[in-house]
Chains A and B, each alone.
Chain A
């Protein structure tokens, strides 16, 4: 069974440029998460989807970050414009069930460097 797939794995951009990350969750998982992880820290939730609905986006900086999950499967996270402080690893995860109650499966992450 394929795991959570993320792309790109690495992205280097200059500040003020836009960037987008894509995630394909495990087949059948209705809940999808985007996390941000800084070096030496645990992941921090940006947004959680249940099917197509964003049920928790309280930590998403909505002035520059946006996300969508069309048809309740794949998801895209966008940053526009990127700032130096956005350099981090963006992790996508998926699980089965409502709330963050199921076992989480993570992708390899997308490492963003903003110059």
Chain B
């Protein structure tokens, strides 16, 4: 069974600081990894999807890296803004059975 862990569970940073969010997974045989954003009381919004053959994916201020051998992915958010305050979840699709497993998320607060 794929276990996905996100540490820390929460963090608070001042506006303008770069954010680094971590995601680790136990089974390195993944098909892809996705990062999502969830605002309170809302559904999940897809941010980035990294295929297993890729090392990183970028969209605007967001950059996600993938290191399958170590079972890790990192989401970088440059020059954080108060609007970036949300919970960020990662999810890995296991190649063996195509099951998608989510982490519990990291709740980010960006202080103005």
Contacts and interface: CB of A to CB of B under 8 A. Distances in A.
B interface secondary structure, majority:
strand
Nearest to B48: A103
Interface string A44-63: 11000000000010000000
Contacts of A104: 34, 36, 44, 46, 91, 100
B43 A108 contact: yes
A91 B99 CA distance: 16
Contacts of A109: 42-43
Contacts of B49: 103
Given A42-B89, A42-B105, A100 B100 contact: yes
Given A42-B104, A106-B44, A99 B34 contact: no
B7 to A, nearest CB: 13
Contact of A100 (B4, B43, B44, B99): B99
Contacts of B103: 42
Interface string A104-115: 111111010000
Contact of A91 (B4, B44, B98, B104): B44
Interface residues of B, number: 22
A40 interface: yes
Interface residues of A, number: 23
A34 B98 CA distance: 15
Interface in B33-75: 34, 36, 41-46, 49
Contact of A44 (B31, B43, B46, B102): B102
A54 B103 CA distance: 24
Interface in B92-109: 93, 98-100, 102-105
B32 interface: yes
B93 A106 contact: no
A30 to B, nearest CB: 14
Contact of A42 (B4, B46, B93): B4
23 contacts: A6-B43, A42-B4, A42-B89, A42-B103, A43-B44, A43-B89, A45-B99, A99-B98, A100-B31, A100-B98, A100-B99, A101-B32, A101-B93, A103-B34, A103-B49, A104-B44, A104-B46, A104-B100, A106-B36, A106-B43, A106-B44, A106-B45, A109-B42
